[in-house]
């Protein structure tokens, strides 16, 4: 069975602080894909990043960076110099390539609040 | 390029009624997946359609069904509505090229269904 755990239900920081959102996943498959999505109050899930299980390179995109570590089954997301516009619910998700359900398995999400 | 569109955005129904939700994927995307989001259960995969065929299905009762048309547009139907069906229903599209497991899914704004 696949599982994604986002242990932080809510995080509140002051603008300009750095913040890391944790994501731990479980899967028996050797080929799988990890994603991060952002859900602002409007409700639409906005795609942020996709990683496959064979690519452990960390990624940086502007103020966003992702740290993928297969050894600890983690795919953490860091926002540097946070801004109020970063306030949203962030979801980590897993998709595996085995037979059966091919949908995304989501974590429960982390509600990030950036205070001015 | 236009994103995923969903209609209607809001819907109010009463118990026992049925409802049909519509989703138009991004142009060129051939796969449409549906998800249910509730405060208690989070985001859960309902089913995926590709080439007018249901390819995968999550753990939902038979009251939840869908279909896909030749232009890749998809509809989701819920019959005999229950109070617990109140949720945000999200549609996502992906290219789903051959062997395209793990393609990024892009989400629409969702349909918020309230069952009274």
> Is residue A113 within 8 Å of residue A21, measured between CB atoms?
no
> Is residue A6 within 8 Å of residue A35, measured between CB atoms?
no
Name the pairing type of β-strands A88-96 and A105-106: antiparallel
Residues in chain B with CB shorter than 8 Å from the CB of A50 are 102, 104
Say how far apart CA A94 and CA B64 lie, in whole Å. 23
Structure confidence at residue A102 (pLDDT): 62
Range B80-90 average pLDDT: 97
Q: Which residues of chain A have pLDDT under 70?
A: 97-102
First CA to last CA distance, chain A: 41
| 3 state SS for chain B | CCCCEEECCEEEECCCCCEEEEEECCCCCCEEEEEEEECCCEEEEEEEEECCEEEEECCCCCCEEEEECCCCCEEEEECCCCHHHCEEEEEEEECCCCCCCCCCCEECCCEEEEEC
Structure confidence at residue B61 (pLDDT): 96
Inter-chain CB proximity B101 and A106 less than 8 Å: no
Distance between A43 CA and the closest CA of chain B, angstroms:
6
Question: Which sign, positive or negative, has the C-alpha torsion A70, A71, A72, A76?
Answer: negative
pLDDT (tens digit, 9 = 90+) per residue, B34-66? 999 999 999 999 999 988 998 888 899 999 999
Say how far apart CA A102 and CA A91 lie, in whole Å. 18
Tokens linked to B29: 């995307």
Structure confidence at residue A55 (pLDDT): 87
| 3 state SS for chain A | CCEEECCCCEEEEECCCCEEECCEEECCCCCEEEEEEEECCCCCCEEEEEEECCCCCCEEECCEEEEEEHHHCEEEEEECCCCHHHCEEEEEEEEECCCCCCCCEECCCEEEEEEC
Structure confidence at residue B89 (pLDDT): 98
Provide, rounded to the nearest whole percent, the portion of chain B with pLDDT above 90: 83
pLDDT (tens digit, 9 = 90+) per residue, A21-43? 999 999 988 889 999 999 999 88
Whether chain B has a CB inside 8 Å of the CB on A57: the answer is no
> Is residue B54 within 8 Å of residue B65, measured between CB atoms?
no
Which among A44, A93, A102 has the least Cβ separation from residue B101?
A102
Name the pairing type of β-strands B106-107 and B87-94: antiparallel
Whether chain A has a CB inside 8 Å of the CB on B109: the answer is yes
Burial class (CB in 10 A: 0-12, 13-18, 19+), A49: middle
């Amino acid at each position: 069975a696949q599982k994604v755990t986002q242990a932080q239900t809510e995080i509140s920081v002051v603008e300009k602080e750095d913040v890391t959102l944790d994501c731990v996943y479980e899967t028996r498959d050797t080929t799988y894909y990890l994603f991060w999505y952002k859900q602002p109050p409007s409700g639409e899930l906005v795609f942020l990043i996709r990683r496959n299980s064979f690519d452990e390179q960390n990624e940086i995109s502007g103020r966003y960076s992702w740290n993928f570590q297969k050894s600890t089954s983690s795919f953490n997301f860091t926002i540097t110099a946070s801004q109020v516009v970063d306030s949203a619910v962030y979801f980590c998700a897993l998709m595996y390539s085995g037979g059966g359900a091919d949908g995304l398995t989501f974590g429960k999400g982390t509600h990030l609040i950036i205070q001015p | 390029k236009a994103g995923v569109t969903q209609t209607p955005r809001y819907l109010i129904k009463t118990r026992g009624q049925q409802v049909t939700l519509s989703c138009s994927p991004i142009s060129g995307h051939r796969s449409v997946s549906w998800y249910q989001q509730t405060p208690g259960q989070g985001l859960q995969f309902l089913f995926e359609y590709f080439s007018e065929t249901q390819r995968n299905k999550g753990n939902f009762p038979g009251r939840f069904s869908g279909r896909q048309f030749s232009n890749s547009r998809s509809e989701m139907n819920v019959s005999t509505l229950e109070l617990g069906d109140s949720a945000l229903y999200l549609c996502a599209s992906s290219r789903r090229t051959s062997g395209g497991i793990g393609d990024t899914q892009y989400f629409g704004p969702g349909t918020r269904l309230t069952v009274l």
